[in-house]
Chain A
Amino acid sequence: MAEERRSKLSNTLLPTESMKGIAESIGVSQMQEETCQVLSEEVSYRIKEIAQPLYGFHAQDFIPFRFASGGGRELYFYEEKEVDLSDIINTPLPRVPLDVSMKAHWLSIEGVQPAIPENPPPAPKEQQKAESTEPLKAVKPGQEEEGQLQGKDKKKLLEGSAMKLKPRSTHELSVEQQLYYKEITEACVGSCEAKRAEALQSIATDPGLYQMLPRFSTFISEGVRVNVVQNNLALLIYLMRMVKALMDNPTLYLEKYLHELIPAVVTCIVSRQLCLRPDVDNHWALRDFAARLMAQSCKTFSTTTNNIQSRITKTFTKSWLDEKTQWTTRYGCIAGLAELGHDVIKTLIIPRLQVEGSRVKAVNEGPIVGNIDKIGADHVQSLLLKHCAPVLAKMRSPPDNQEQYRVEYGYLGPMLCTHVVKARAQAAMQAQQVNRTTLTITQPRPTLTLSQGAQSSRTPSIIKVPSSITLPMQTLVSARPSTPTQPSPPPTKFIVMSSSTGSTTTQQVITLSSAQSSVTSTSPVTSTVPSLQPLVKLEGGHTQGAGPLSGGGGASRTMQKYIVVSLPPAGDSKTLTPSPALESNSATSVKLERADSPATGNQSPQPSH
């Protein structure tokens, strides 16, 4: 430390050359070295004396001197450009800078900082992280110090008694937040694309979402579950876009909710069926998009303790290696792996090119199979070509021989060869562009838009959050009789999502009274289990692992489902699989399904987490 200070106080002097230069500039030539030395010391001191205390030392982002050397001389000079006056006159005047203005906002209301855009995010990321890793130090937004103090006190308490206290974090939403949540979720899954864009923008930028994060997370994960079963591609895409928006928000610390988000994302990558008409609908784009999301979360959240990347890689690899895996899932697995980066492609995908090639060949050249398989194989092939070519271009040295590729990579070899050649050409092009000093990098942002033309009969707005039910949450909670002797469980909130497919059915809204009764009926059970699992009951659609849905049948069928989702208090649900007891319990609470459910309800493959 002393060393550090010492270096700071080092006594720097102006070079004697500067003195010479300055002297020459005012017409004094032939300065003696000694004179220069003395002058330099004096000038250095004076400059420090005058300039240092007033202005300190700042890194000047612009130093107006240019350097030139030649003939043994070094020169610093002002660069004076010749300016064409007509140019200046003809250029339009720059905009007048905005005038100073004053804006008032509430920094704090009776000690609590409101979460408004004028204020910084209530819980900085570090604090959210600390909260999830060290819940004892959990603090209220805006009162860090005090919170820390409370934490300290609690620690003291812990030292004193053997009892372990887990501080209950409160996740009550204000009325405004409830309204916001409702608006946002409705817009995100609604039919108006403009509204959706706005909502997603809000999710991606708003600093005050931290407290709503558990709700969003559950909304997405439950939404994916339901809509995978229903093969509602549009909804799945919207939900993935929500995930993307959440991940884009710099003020949110998502790690606590990965257990809900990752399965949802993975489902969208590898599910056997994501849409009603796999031959027409572009579910491949969703898989690509979700794969990119997955890769992004791997990059952001993978640590040595949670090992997300390796676990995800394993999951993908395992189902890819399985002979029986469908083309759709196969595509998802490859996409998921490929997005993880060149290394993964190199080690996991390229060695399997030959096997995969022969599989594609079997479909393309073998006996006529279903159209679905043909499309799937085509997509897998182009996916492999797309991802492997750039890697191969880097791995292999230039002479690209078709035959050699065939030998090494089998059926896909020749096609790979042409792709690699193209990739090389492109790389060379880019390199050239770099040399030409102007470098434009056009990186297509992973955006996903849905073409709704094909789906004429279906309305994409499926998940409805009826306001009459979401808003009086507090009534629901307060309606429950709570005995003072028994600690009341964290408030459970119910959102009733009614989903409908088919053109003819109408939305059904569960009346408040029925929901309330369901609450009261379940409350004795929930009170015994302090940490509620996310409950979902898919009525009728529960025939697990029934044969693959073929031919996109069932598009004409109508079905109507009611799913009761109980939102657990955030952070409490750590496991993914819903506990059977509760599931059945909720099953008893909802006996509202009306229409027949399709016999081929499809449960999405959920990777074990």
Chain B
Amino acid sequence: MAAVQDGPIELEPENEIKTETSNEVLGNPGDASGGVPPTAPVAAVATEKPAAAAADSTERQTLLAVLQFLKKSKLFESEEILRREAGLLNEIGDSQGSGAGGAGLGGGGDAEPESGDASSLLSRVAGAAATASANATPAPAKVTPVVTGGEDQPDVNVVLAAYSQQGDPVLYPVYYSGLKRFIDSVLDCHRAELSQVFYPLFVHMYLELVYNQYEKEAKAFFEKFHGDQECYYKDDLRILSGLTKKEHMKGNETLLDFRTSKFVLRISRDSYQLLKRHLQERQNNQIWNIIQEHLYIDIFDGMPRSKGQIDSMSGSLAGEAKREANKAKVFYGLLKEPEIEVPLDDEDEEAENEEGKPKKKKPKKDSTGSKSKKQDPNAPQQSRIPLPELKDSDKLDKIMNMKEATKRVRLGPESLPSICFYTFLNAYQGLTAVDFTDDSSLVAGGFADSTVRVWSVTPKKLRGVKTAGDLSLIDKDSDDVLERIMDEKTASESKNLYGHSGPVYGISFSPDRNYLLSCSEDATVRLWSLQTFTCLVGYKGHNYPVWDTQFSPYGYYFISGGHDRVARLWATDHYQPLRIFSGHLADITCTRFHPNSNYVATGSADRTIRLWDILTGNCVRIFTGHKGPIHSLAFSPNGKFLASGATDGRVLLWDIGHGLMIGELKGHTDTVYALKFSRDGEILASGSMDNTVRLWDALKAFDDIETDDFTAATGHITLPENSQELLLGSYMTKSTPVIHLHFTRRNLLLGAGAYNP
């Protein structure tokens, strides 16, 4: 079973997949293949080592109890399978935690012949449910002692409890409102923390009711309490409200997320004790079980958090990130710039001097000197990710870039950038994506009618390469061979690229401007040549619409993410992905490369942002705090910070090294679709559906935050309410939603959007 589970993603046996899936009801597929013992999530609930050990022993007891029960019920076949399954697991080692137990029980379920499909966890659960409910009605009586015996039940009980008659459906509202009363009555400092329990509890109680086919009670329960939930859960609640039958639970993805991933809460020890004591005093096993089984409570020592602190971090589909999820070291520094031969540079400068430009040798040397300074201690090793060799044309481009950089406008609150806005007119078919090349010479637009279109915004027209026949006539040794291969007859200001069979959602130029990537609803990513203006490759791998794609800043690699909730890392010369990053609980809506190309950030409709290590495939950061699907991401040029924009209209700033939220920029009234830092990182520009471009003082936002050891350690940060001070300007367009922003090398801000009359 484990192998099947691993099947589609076995390209990289990453730890990430393991940690993600280890939470699932059916246990840990990584055990068989990986060999690294998983951190037992259930043990972590108690966060005490002895407890984990105790869990281990109760684990065996539970298993034995089930085996005994099966024997008694004369289900020899099932028993044998379970025994075999457990035995197999035992071979791996006794030290492993509850994950094995979970898998064992899952194996029990697997006795059903229909359980071959690894993709549908729930169907197996349901299958197991059928066996148990048909043959083992007295089961709960047998199991409950085990349950009460140990605090940390293995996942087996999740399955059993789900269809046991443990809770009287009529009592659910009573339990819930009892807890509500209790939490309302506790001290203020604990109330905010404990209130976090409401939403996951509500959902799980509702699901239990639905699962046990108490349709009417479930409806009543939903009606009664859904209004109490925080408004950012509205979308999830709407899906939930449609789900009223057990059959519906099969294959419902949102549900699957809820049942397979634990909702993570961070609660201070004091508050947790308070809750625990209350529930135990009241013998409120129903709620206690849910908390134990479906919630991951990350307990910390110290002051309870304030409501504001909690609110700033909550909102994601599955609660906050676990603290240890953000502990991995991230090499956020930039790679050393390759040394570019000085003679070339000098030559160019001389040429410029001839044109009568003032000599500026000194500062130039300084700038090149600073570029080649010592390796940044936070930077990854130069060869950590193999990067493509620099071509001569790349070097030329780098020199151009450096030259432009000397002419760059220093931005700041006093000198705001000028904004040039490119309005797409007559785009009735719907403009869905825009990208500019780094040197701002080309613009590409992706449209909902499946076309991609490239414009030249410089007087230089777009030309295709001559046909093969014509090319053979060219003198290949001539100096201007690159010029000769171009076909003058094809020169035009824009070129259409046809190939996709669905709306184009993402578009990205390669850094060398030779290629263009586009991703589409048709589940493919296409690579286009900007020499011939034809499609070179269609990368197939995603099963559903691909929402975003982006080239690595060094070219060659690219990332894509889509509705199938995984991000894929590709290399242009491989037709299969190099890495698959899975872990998001909903669509991946945007993908961005870190400037050093060692990491990618993905934003998702599960309202989280994840940072992935390309080398290992691990998820190294999970950022929660957005209250809506994330639609834009931007790394600061120094690689230290990340900005994210979402449908909630807020822009959040993150410190990658510390894994902390460090700023909240409020002002937009609609989805933020575009984010970009200025070339030197002083200004953050954001563009939104609300037809505005806003400029924010990024330096101030990053300076204002004090990241002392305590906040860094706990992650409990109080955000300064200073969005208004940070806002440097707001520029309204004429009914044109802003869907892309780009800073030219001289720090002129370019915006793009389709006029929407």
A6 lies within 8 A of chain B by Cβ: yes
Which B residues lie within 8 Å of A11 (CB)? 219, 241-242, 244
Which B residues lie within 8 Å of A6 (CB)? 223, 226-227
| Distance to closest chain A CB from B558 (angstroms) | 25
- Complex contact B244–A45 (CB within 8 A): yes
Contact pattern, A 46-60, Cβ under 8 Å of B = 1, otherwise 0:
001100110000000
B213 lies within 8 A of chain A by Cβ: no
Contact pattern, B 434-446, Cβ under 8 Å of A = 1, otherwise 0:
0000000001010
Bound CA span A10–B234, Å: 12
B575 lies within 8 A of chain A by Cβ: no
| Distance to closest chain B CB from A105 (angstroms) | 6
Bound CA span A99–B445, Å: 13
Complex interface residues of chain B between 406 and 427 (CB less than 8 A to chain A): 415-427
A66 lies within 8 A of chain B by Cβ: no
A3-B227, A45-B244, A106-B418 in contact; A9/B727 too (CB < 8 A)? Answer: no
Contact pattern, A 204-228, Cβ under 8 Å of B = 1, otherwise 0:
0000000000000000000000000
Interface of A: prevailing SS:
mixed
- Complex contact A103–B423 (CB within 8 A): yes
A100-B445, A149-B724 in contact; A107/B242 too (CB < 8 A)? Answer: no
Stretch at the interface among A140-148, A168-176, A426-434, A486-494: A140-148
Which A residues lie within 8 Å of B457 (CB)? 102, 104
Bound CA span A584–B26, Å: 97
Bound CA span A44–B243, Å: 10
Bound CA span A287–B252, Å: 73
Central interface residue in A41, A111, A146, by most chain B CB within 10 Å: A111
Which B residues lie within 8 Å of A143 (CB)? 729-730
- Complex contact A52–B242 (CB within 8 A): yes
Chain B residue at minimal CB-CB distance from A148? B724
Report which of A2, A45, A142, A148 forms a contact with B243, defined as CB distance below 8 A: A45
Which A residues lie within 8 Å of B421 (CB)? 104-107, 118
Bound CA span A109–B733, Å: 14
Which A residues lie within 8 Å of B730 (CB)? 142-146
Contact pattern, A 122-150, Cβ under 8 Å of B = 1, otherwise 0:
00000000000000000000111110110
B725 lies within 8 A of chain A by Cβ: yes
Bound CA span A111–B443, Å: 24
Which A residues lie within 8 Å of B234 (CB)? 5, 8
- Complex contact B427–A107 (CB within 8 A): no
Which A residues lie within 8 Å of B415 (CB)? 110-111
Bound CA span A198–B455, Å: 35
Which B residues lie within 8 Å of A53 (CB)? 239
B574 lies within 8 A of chain A by Cβ: no
A85 lies within 8 A of chain B by Cβ: no
B299 lies within 8 A of chain A by Cβ: no
Which A residues lie within 8 Å of B455 (CB)? 102
A120-B732, A145-B727 in contact; A52/B238 too (CB < 8 A)? Answer: yes
- Complex contact B416–A110 (CB within 8 A): yes
Which B residues lie within 8 Å of A249 (CB)? none
| Distance to closest chain A CB from B627 (angstroms) | 15
Which B residues lie within 8 Å of A98 (CB)? 425-426
Interface size counted on chain B using CB atoms at 8 A: 57
Report which of A10, A49, A120 forms a contact with B733, defined as CB distance below 8 A: A120
Contact pattern, A 72-105, Cβ under 8 Å of B = 1, otherwise 0:
0000000000000000000000000111111111
Bound CA span A111–B216, Å: 59
- Complex contact A42–B252 (CB within 8 A): no
- Complex contact A119–B732 (CB within 8 A): yes
Chain B residue at minimal CB-CB distance from A11? B241
B359 lies within 8 A of chain A by Cβ: no
Complex interface residues of chain B between 231 and 253 (CB less than 8 A to chain A): 231, 234, 237-239, 241-245, 247-248, 252
Report which of A97, A102, A111, A149 forms a contact with B422, defined as CB distance below 8 A: A102
Interface size counted on chain A using CB atoms at 8 A: 43
Report which of B231, B241, B422, B693 forms a contact with A104, defined as CB distance below 8 A: B422
- Complex contact B731–A142 (CB within 8 A): yes
Which B residues lie within 8 Å of A401 (CB)? none
A108 lies within 8 A of chain B by Cβ: yes
Complex interface residues of chain B between 436 and 484 (CB less than 8 A to chain A): 443, 445, 447, 453, 455, 457
A589 lies within 8 A of chain B by Cβ: no
- Complex contact A9–B244 (CB within 8 A): no
A113 lies within 8 A of chain B by Cβ: yes
Central interface residue in A6, A9, A11, A108, by most chain B CB within 10 Å: A108
Which A residues lie within 8 Å of B427 (CB)? 100
Which B residues lie within 8 Å of A119 (CB)? 731-734
Bound CA span A111–B733, Å: 14
- Complex contact A49–B252 (CB within 8 A): yes
B76 lies within 8 A of chain A by Cβ: no
Which B residues lie within 8 Å of A109 (CB)? 418
- Complex contact B418–A110 (CB within 8 A): yes
| Distance to closest chain A CB from B727 (angstroms) | 5
Chain B residue at minimal CB-CB distance from A99? B426
A9-B226, A106-B420, A110-B418 in contact; A97/B428 too (CB < 8 A)? Answer: yes
- Complex contact B729–A108 (CB within 8 A): yes
- Complex contact B423–A118 (CB within 8 A): yes
Which A residues lie within 8 Å of B219 (CB)? 11
Which B residues lie within 8 Å of A41 (CB)? 244-245
Which B residues lie within 8 Å of A142 (CB)? 729-732
Bound CA span A118–B419, Å: 13
The 7 closest A-B pairs by CB, nearest first: A2-B227, A111-B416, A107-B419, A107-B421, A108-B419, A48-B242, A98-B426
24 A-B pairs in the complex with CB atoms less than 8 angstroms apart: A2-B228, A5-B226, A9-B226, A9-B237, A10-B241, A45-B242, A49-B239, A49-B248, A100-B425, A100-B427, A102-B425, A102-B443, A102-B445, A102-B494, A103-B422, A103-B425, A105-B421, A107-B693, A108-B417, A110-B416, A111-B729, A118-B734, A120-B734, A142-B730
Beyond the given pairs A107-B751, A146-B729, 18 more chain A to chain B contacts, judged by CB atoms under 8 angstroms and listed by A's residue number, are A1-B227, A42-B245, A42-B247, A52-B238, A99-B426, A100-B427, A100-B431, A100-B447, A102-B423, A102-B424, A106-B418, A108-B729, A111-B729, A119-B731, A144-B730, A146-B728, A148-B724, A149-B724
Interface residues of B (CB under 8 A from A): 219, 222-223, 226-228, 231, 234, 237-239, 241-245, 247-248, 252, 415-429, 431, 443, 445, 447, 453, 455, 457, 494, 667, 693, 695, 724-725, 727-734, 749, 751
